[in-house]
Amino acid sequence: MLTLPLVLPPTVVGFLLLLMFGKNGPLGKLLMAIGMTVIFSWPATVIAAAVVAFPLMYRTVRSAFEQIDQNIINAARTLGVSEWKIFWKITIPLSWPGVAAGTILAFARALGDFGATLMIGGNIPGKTLTIPAAIFFAAEGGEMRKALIWVMLIFVISLIVMTLMNYWTDYQSKMITSNGRK
């Protein structure tokens, strides 16, 4: 269920979000009662990006947690250490490469989302227009120079992300040999 947005087409995710946050949707009504409209505002783009990116974060972090030797956690428990402290002092430090990887992957996915964002955010310039949408509409309108500038920007960001990912893979393979993983 939590990984559903990963396999659904982005427009379908966007459509479902529209149903939920729309004027007649359950969450939309709730927000309306406190005087908020989400649809076609910048928070809508944030929600769309978060929902499509969440499964990547969730899956990566979860598998990092699962790779920790359970005996290490059990050892901490027998020492009388609280679950809270175990989480922050052991689970997170031992799985932080996974958390970092999840963050990077989720960031890249959120940055590139087109379909879901367009469905509930629209493409209001200066308000809800994201870079992928801007590229699409610039190219559609024949403004190739403008589209190219946006494309270059995405390129630079993606290259940085890729470099970080490679760095992380190296780091992780080092962690596996030295860090009490299975």
Give the footprint of another protein on this chain (CB under 8 A): 69, 71-72, 74-82, 85, 89-90, 93-94, 178-180
CB of 83 to another protein, least distance (A): 8
CB of 69 to another protein, least distance (A): 6
The answer to whether 64 and 95 have CB atoms below 8 angstroms apart is yes
| DSSP output for 12-74 | HHHHHHHHHHSTTSHHHHHHHHTT---TTSHHHHHHHHHHHHHHHHHHHHHHHHHTB-HHHHH
Measured from the CB atom, the residue of 24 and 177 that comes closer to another protein is 177
CB of 180 to another protein, least distance (A): 4
CB of 38 to another protein, least distance (A): 41
Measured from the CB atom, the residue of 141 and 180 that comes closer to another protein is 180
Token representation of residue 104: 């990077």
CB of 57 to another protein, least distance (A): 22
Determine the 3-state secondary structure of 181 from DSSP.
Answer: strand
- 77 φ, ψ to 5°? -65, -45
Measured from the CB atom, the residue of 45 and 95 that comes closer to another protein is 95
Measured from the CB atom, the residue of 27 and 90 that comes closer to another protein is 90
Rounded to an integer, what distance in angstroms lies between the CA atom of residue 174 and that of residue 5? 32
The answer to whether 90 and 73 have CB atoms below 8 angstroms apart is yes
Measured from the CB atom, the residue of 63 and 74 that comes closer to another protein is 74
